[in-house]
Amino acid sequence: EPEVTQTPSHQVTQMGQEVILRCVPISNHLYFYWYRQILGQKVEFLVSFYNNEISEKSEIFDDQFSVERPDGSNFTLKIRSTKLEDSAMYFCASSVRQGALRNTGELFFGEGSRLTVL
């Protein structure tokens, strides 16, 4: 069963440092996403990516954040200068199989990358 994989599972960093979280979406999916969950709070949408560009982003996704699909398989989230409040679980997801007749709305999520900013 194809799945979304994320690395690292846990990263600890100092405030102000750059962090890159990596994701390998399901190979024939067309849409990619990043969500995050701060401890005890809701899972929040950050950004969606389609056809090699951002299709939508939330107000959380400011200039400190960027996404990239550097090759045919990886999808990365970069936080340029981390802040304490960036500490959260970050989830990558993908959806919509290439050639699918319709969009079922189902997202396929990875296990998450826990980011701790000290």
Contact residues for another protein, defined by CB under 8 A: 3-4, 6, 31, 33, 35, 37, 40-45, 48, 55-56, 91, 93, 95-96, 103-112
Least gap, CB of 35 to another protein (angstroms): 8
Residue (14 or 52) nearer to another protein, CB = 52
The Cα–Cα gap between 11 and 109 comes to 19
For residue 86, report the phi and psi dihedrals to the nearest 5 degrees. -80, -10
With H, G, I as helix, E, B as strand and everything else as coil, classify residue 84: helix
Strand 10-13 relative to strand 113-117, pairing: parallel
Residue (23 or 79) nearer to another protein, CB = 23
Least gap, CB of 60 to another protein (angstroms): 13
Tokens standing for 85? 């409040």
Least gap, CB of 105 to another protein (angstroms): 5
Residue (75 or 91) nearer to another protein, CB = 91
Least gap, CB of 27 to another protein (angstroms): 16
Residue (14 or 99) nearer to another protein, CB = 99
Cross-sheet strand order for the sheet of 75-79: 5-7, 19-24, 75-79, 65-68
Tokens standing for 115? 């980011």
